[in-house]
Every structure is written in structure tokens, then in C-alpha cells.
């Protein structure tokens, strides 16, 4: 990967995540559905305060990607690239510099940073909020902390087990339709997105999330533009192998794809993998995560290897890689994967598989975006790509309470000077994504051999963003140059 540029024309295989990548959600409606489904369960089944059922419009501003919940302390943390705490909230309430340093010390160091930054693993001591499915849960947990004052002698919070129960209740696979025992495993509490429970006999349409989307998909899903569908077809026509790899189960995947892509969506992909259980799809060996055949959305037989294109369940990238070698006739086919989750998609595909990765980051469409000017790039309008055609940003792409996703100013008790610092999430983008774009729509009008400037040690920290870097990174670059 020594080249400073990246082109899709150089790739043999092009893979896509589904949720929040190909399938874009109406965030206002979907976030409310997720929040309500959790809150109603906690109030009805676990005895939590009915105040959780009420959310003011202003409270949604709490939702921001990239936060870490310190489960023991009940604190939400925004971290710098070195693990320093930039901002923090106890529940929904902002903590002052004095309060942060009282809990985490003068240097504001979070003790679990080295563990999470090197693996993106899950823990009983913290939770990383990585995608739009997660964010309503962040607000709910913060409101729970607000409602649970510490009692005498109590030192740590203990509500997370109830959150896991709420997740499992609302994201059960079999809540989509009743199925018989499959001998499966809990996935949503591990993977952070609608995967659900396999292996339990449940009545049809139990829970809240899946029945609601199934009943009225148009309320929650955006249609995929014809330009994107035509672009995927053009990839296949150019001889590319096209993959769909999603942690959603096959029935939910079918619902989404039929609604956003049409009933002939299967023609767009050579290989479809559902219930992939990312990041395990990348991190676990074939013996731990074999592929399964499907019959009417039910997992039937374990496969010792993949022999042909088709639709499969679960699986692992090693067996997929062997299939791709057969399909391309190349000993080392070059693969690029598009996804929205740093943990499940980008870090895992790069770290374990060494795939090229394209991060879909809607925050680039919002108030963080750098307004393009033709003087930035001479007279080349092509550089702007689809910038002018991007959809108007939705809510939740920028939080006033938490500030920029990419950088923030930090002031400590011992220093009154604010220093603009890159966030951990931003440094992860630089380290693990090849390029980062606001949506697939942003690149569909570009020629297949368009050369993107990639993130690399030879380029600046903002060169891998297309079509424009976030404005705050340009400011950070200017301040660094001045210093």
C-alpha cells in the first residue's frame, strides 16, 4: 500500500455493508423507535422510572458517535488520540475540568484506553458508541444515570445488565417472524446492531423494533437512488466481484434490500452474506465461525468451505478469501469494503484481512463539512464530485454538547490555554480507512479509475476525506503550522 492514491479500478472485489451504508435510515424516526423500544421495556419489565419515556427535542443533542461509556462511573467520555479525556458527562450533565480530574487524575487519562484502542473489543467495564443504531442507547443510559443517584456505600453503577436484556428483547431475530430452535447465539449485545437472538421459539412480531420496520418500512428507510443502483451494476459490468456482507439476518436483509433496491436486488451482488456477526466474521477462525446454507431464511447445513457464488449465513473471511481467489483467478485478489462502523467494518476488515476500506461517515455532510471553493483546487470541478448534490444533512450528525467528531479544544486545571486536539475517532479514521466519504452517492458519478488521495504517512491527516475534509481539521493543520 505504498501508493499515495487509491482507485476502485485497481480492485478485483468490492464489498458493501448494508445498514447505514447502502441502506440509509431516516434518523429522526429510526432513533426514536430504537429509544422507545428500549425505554418501554425497561419501564415495564425492569421497574425503571417512567421519566425515561419522555424525551424533549433538546435532549437528542446528547447523541454523538465516538463516545465511550465508563460503565462503573456512569460517565460518558470523549477521547483524544492519546486517550486524554477531552469532554465528559456524568449522565447527561457536563463535567467541569475539576470534576474530570477528580475522577481521572490531573492528566485526565482513561485507564482502559490502550485496551480499546488496540482491539476495539467489548468489555463489562465500558461501551463504545460507534454507529447510529447505538446512539439512542447512549441517551437512554445517560438518562438512567440521571435517575439513579448513588446510595450510601454504593461505588459503581450496575444497570448495564438491564440494557443488555432490553437489547436482546427488541432485536431478537425471531421477532421478525417465528422460527424453530436453531441453536444460535446472542448477537446484538455483542455486535451492536440488529442481529438478534437465534435459537429460541418466539411468537411472531414480539418486541418492538423489527415489527415496526416490517409494518412500515417507508417510515424508517430511505430509497436508494437510481444512481447508486446503476453504479453497482456498472461495477459488475466492469468485471468486479460485488459482495454484500451484513450482520443483519437474511429475512431483515431481504426486507431492506427489496424496499431500497427493488425485488431484483440479488442480481446486483455475486455473493450475499447475512448474519455475518461482524467483527467476528473477520477476527475468528473458520472453525469458530463456519458458513451455513440457507433455506427460507433458516440456517440448514454447515459448509466446510465455499465453492461457488450465492447467499450464505455467518461465515469467516478466510473461507470467503479462498472463494474470491477461485472467482478472480488471482492468488491475492484486491478487496475494498465499504462500511459505517469503525469497530465492525473498518478496523476489522483492515486489521484482520488487510482489505482496503472506505468509511461512510455522515458527519461529513453536516455542520462539520468544509464548504468547497473552486479556488481550493484550481478550476477542477471534478474534484468536487457530487458535493453539490449531497442530501441535506439530518439531525444527530453534529452535537452542540459534544462538539466536533474530529477534533476538540482541551483546557485543564493547570492550564488556561485551549489546545485544539485530534480525537481518537479521527485518528482511527486516518489509521484504518483508505478513504472516508459522506455517502456512496458522493462518488457514483466519478470514473471508475478516479484516483482518490488516500490516508497514508506521506499525506496530511485530512487528505483521505472526499470530497472535502472537515473544516476543523483544516484549522488544526493551520494551528499546527503556526506553532
Q: Which residues are catalytic?
A: 17, 19
- The β-bridge partners of 14 are 242, 336
Chain centre to alpha carbon of residue 275: 16
- Strands 335-339, 13-16: pairing is parallel
Nearest-angstrom CA–CA distance, 34 and 212: 10
Consecutive H or E run containing 139: helix 135-147
- Residue whose C-alpha cell reads 482491539 in the numeric block: 119
Residue 437, phi then psi, degrees to nearest 5: -130, 155
Quote the DSSP letter at residue 116. Answer: H
The dihedral through the CA atoms of 260, 263, 268, 272 has a sign that is positive
Contact 89, 75 (CB under 8 A): yes
- The β-bridge partners of 128 are 68
Consecutive H or E run containing 320: helix 317-328
Question: 479 to each of 78, 79, 475, how far by Cα in Å?
Answer: 21, 20, 6
Contact 248, 193 (CB under 8 A): yes
Give the CA dihedral 10, 386, 436, 393, nearest 10 degrees.
-160
467 preceded by a cis bond (ω within 30 of 0): yes
Nearest-angstrom CA–CA distance, 204 and 202: 6
Nearest-angstrom CA–CA distance, 46 and 195: 23
Contact 37, 45 (CB under 8 A): no
Quote the DSSP letter at residue 384. Answer: G
Consecutive H or E run containing 412: strand 407-412
Per 3-state DSSP, the chain is made up of helix, strand and coil in percentages (nearest 5) of: 40, 20, 40
Residue 50, phi then psi, degrees to nearest 5: -65, -15
Amino acid at each position: 500500500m505504498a501508493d499515495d492514491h487509491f482507485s476502485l479500478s485497481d480492485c478485483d472485489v468490492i464489498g458493501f455493508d448494508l445498514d447505514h451504508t447502502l441502506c440509509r435510515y431516516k434518523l429522526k424516526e429510526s432513533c426514536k423507535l430504537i429509544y422507545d423500544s428500549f425505554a418501554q421495556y425497561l419501564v415495564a419489565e425492569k421497574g425503571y422510572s417512567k421519566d425515561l419515556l419522555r424525551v424533549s427535542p433538546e435532549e437528542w443533542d446528547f447523541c454523538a458517535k465516538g463516545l465511550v461509556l465508563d460503565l462503573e462511573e456512569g460517565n460518558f467520555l470523549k477521547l483524544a488520540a492519546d486517550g486524554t479525556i477531552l469532554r465528559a458527562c456524568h449522565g447527561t450533565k457536563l463535567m467541569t475540568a475539576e470534576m474530570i480530574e477528580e475522577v481521572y487524575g490531573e492528566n485526565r487519562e482513561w485507564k482502559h484506553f490502550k485496551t480499546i484502542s488496540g482491539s476495539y473489543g467489548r468489555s463489562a467495564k465500558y461501551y463504545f458508541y460507534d454507529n447510529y443504531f447505538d446512539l439512542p442507547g447512549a441517551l437512554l443510559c445517560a438518562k438512567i444515570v440521571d435517575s439513579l443517584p448513588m446510595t450510601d456505600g454504593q461505588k459503581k453503577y450496575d444497570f448495564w445488565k438491564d440494557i443488555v436484556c432490553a437489547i436482546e428483547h427488541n432485536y431478537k431475530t425471531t421477532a421478525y417472524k417465528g422460527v424453530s430452535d436453531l441453536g444460535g447465539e446472542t448477537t446484538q449485545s455483542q455486535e451492536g446492531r440488529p442481529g438478534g437472538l437465534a435459537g429460541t421459539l418466539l411468537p411472531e412480531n414480539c418486541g418492538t423494533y423489527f415489527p415496526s420496520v416490517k409494518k412500515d418500512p417507508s417510515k424508517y428507510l430511505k430509497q436508494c437512488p437510481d444512481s447508486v443502483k446503476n453504479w453497482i451494476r456498472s461495477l459488475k459490468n466492469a468485471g468486479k466481484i460485488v459482495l454484500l456482507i451484513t450482520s443483519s439476518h437474511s429475512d431483515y436483509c431481504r426486507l431492506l434490500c427489496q424496499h431500497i433496491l427493488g425485488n431484483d436486488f440479488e442480481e446486483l451482488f455475486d455473493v450475499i452474506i447475512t448474519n455475518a456477526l461482524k467483527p467476528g466474521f473477520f477476527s475468528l477462525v473458520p472453525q469458530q465461525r463456519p458458513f451455513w446454507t440457507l433455506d427460507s431464511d433458516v440456517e440448514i447445513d454447515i459448509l466446510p468451505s465455499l465453492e461457488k457464488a450465492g447467499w450464505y449465513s455467518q461465515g469467516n473471511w478466510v473461507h470467503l478469501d479462498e472463494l474470491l481467489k477461485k472467482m478472480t483467478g488471482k492468488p491475492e485478489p484486491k478487496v475494498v469494503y465499504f462500511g459505517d462502523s469503525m469497530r465492525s467494518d473498518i478496523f476489522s476488515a483492515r486489521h484482520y484481512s488487510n482489505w482496503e476500506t472506505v468509511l461512510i461517515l455522515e458527519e461529513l455532510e453536516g455542520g462539520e463539512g468544509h464548504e468547497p471553493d473552486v479556488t481550493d483546487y484550481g478550476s477542477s470541478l471534478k474534484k468536487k464530485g457530487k458535493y453539490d448534490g449531497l442530501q441535506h444533512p439530518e439531525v444527530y450528525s453534529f452535537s452542540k454538547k459534544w462538539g466536533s467528531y474530529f477534533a476538540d479544544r482541551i483546557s485543564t486545571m493547570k492550564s488556561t490555554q485551549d489546545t485544539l486536539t485530534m480525537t481518537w475517532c479521527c485518528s482511527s479514521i486516518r489509521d484504518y480507512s483508505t478513504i472516508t466519504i459522506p455517502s456512496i452517492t458522493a462518488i457514483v458519478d466519478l470514473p471508475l479509475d478516479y484516483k482518490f488521495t488516500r490516508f497514508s504517512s506521506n499525506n496530511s491527516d485530512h487528505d483521505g476525506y472526499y470530497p472535502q475534509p472537515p473544516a476543523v481539521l483544516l484549522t488544526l493543520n493551520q494551528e499546527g503550522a503556526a506553532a
